[in-house]
Structure 1
Amino acid sequence: MNICVFLSAADLDARYTEPAREFAELIGKGGHTLVWGGSDVGLMKVMADGVQDNGGRLVGISVEFLAAKARKNADEMVIAADLAERKAQLLARSDAIVVMVGGTGTLDEATEILELKKHGMHAKPVVLLNTAGFYDGLKQQFARMEAEGFLPLPLADLVLFAEDGASALAYIEGAL
């Protein structure tokens, strides 16, 4: 299975890197392919190393202005012209999406994927991996959107908030 993971390229502390390593190990040992932003830095590198070290494949979708940071030994590397093309390729190349910790770029990717799912543009399982409670505020906001009628479908049909990588992977495998 091709699992797209949206996440930060920043260097982060152990409360984020250790759960990422554990999730990467599960992906690799499960024989899955990591489809990710292609960077060989920060948390993206942690995930790529973990997947590759445990027998998984790597498909990177980088972008021209970040091509210098692209992982050299990925099984496949695509260089998109811009961020919009990158997001489209990431979605097209994946069977499921997991959103891990990240900044505005990760949040942009997450909301676009959820908006497309809301409008029936894809039916792929989407998981927000809530490492160390990172997405607690977003989870609360989504619950409010649902309660006040801003979501045309139940939140549970749109996204799963998982507390760990094992739960995220089990959900994905069960949904496909």
Structure 2
Amino acid sequence: MNICVFLSAADLDERYTVPAREFAELIGKGGHTLVWGGSDSGLMKVVADGVQQAGGRVVGVSVDFLRAVTRPDADEMVIAKDLAERKALLLTKADAVVIMVGGTGTLDEATEILELKKHALHSKPVVLLNTAGFYDGLKQQFRRMDEEGFLPVPLTDLVFFAEDGASALAYLEAVTSTAAAESTGA
């Protein structure tokens, strides 16, 4: 499975890097491919390192103005013309999406992916990985949107909230294997 991960390129505290490394190792050991923003810095580097060290592939999608910080040993690196094309390419190359901790760029990517899914412009599973309670406030806001009728589809159809990498990956493997079985009529 190609798992797109949206996350920060910042250097972060161990409460974020340790769980990110553990999740990355699960991706690699599971034989999955990381599809990510291509950066070789901060949390993006931690995850790419973990996936590669565990035997997985890494496919980066960056933009020209960030070319200087791209990972030199990525299995594949695509340079998009702008951030909009980058997001579209990341989604195209992915079978599933995981949103990890990050700043405004990650939040922008998360809301766009969910908006596209809301309008049935993609049907890929989306997981919000709530490491160290980072997204507690956002999770509460999404629930309020759902309860008060702001979402035309149930929140559970848009996103799965996971508290750790193991439950995130278990969910993705379960839904993708179910979808594959349904598409083959098994």
Q: TM-score category by the smaller chain?
A: over 0.9
Q: How many residues align?
A: 176
Structure 2 match to 1:171: 171
Unaligned runs of 5+ in 2: 177-186
**C-alpha deviation, 1:127, in angstroms:** 0.2
**C-alpha deviation, 1:163, in angstroms:** 0.1
Letter in 2 for 1:155: L
**C-alpha deviation, 1:144, in angstroms:** 0.6
Question: Aligned runs of 1:14-163 on 2, under 5 Å?
Answer: 14-163=14-163
Letter in 1 for 2:139: K
Secondary structure of the residue aligned to 1:98 is strand
Question: For the residues of structure 2 that align with 1:134 and 1:42, how far apart are their CA atoms?
Answer: 17
Question: For the residues of structure 1 that align with 2:81 and 2:157, how far apart are their CA atoms?
Answer: 32
**C-alpha deviation, 1:50, in angstroms:** 0.2
**C-alpha deviation, 1:34, in angstroms:** 0.1
Question: For the residues of structure 2 that align with 1:171 and 1:54, how far apart are their CA atoms?
Answer: 20
CA RMSD of aligned residues (A): 0.3
Letter in 2 for 1:119: H
**C-alpha deviation, 1:4, in angstroms:** 0.1
Question: For the residues of structure 1 that align with 2:39 and 2:146, how far apart are their CA atoms?
Answer: 35
Same amino acid, percent of matched pairs: 81
Secondary structure of the residue aligned to 1:58 is strand
Letter in 1 for 2:30: G
Alpha-carbon deviations, 1:28-71, whole Å to 9, x = none? Answer: 00000000000000000000000000000000001110000000
The runs of at least 4 aligned residues of structure 1 exceeding 6 Å deviation read none
Question: For the residues of structure 1 that align with 2:118 and 2:171, how far apart are their CA atoms?
Answer: 19
Question: For the residues of structure 2 that align with 1:36 and 1:130, how far apart are their CA atoms?
Answer: 18
**C-alpha deviation, 1:170, in angstroms:** 0.5
Secondary structure of the residue aligned to 1:161 is strand
Unaligned runs of 5+ in 1: none
Letter in 1 for 2:66: L
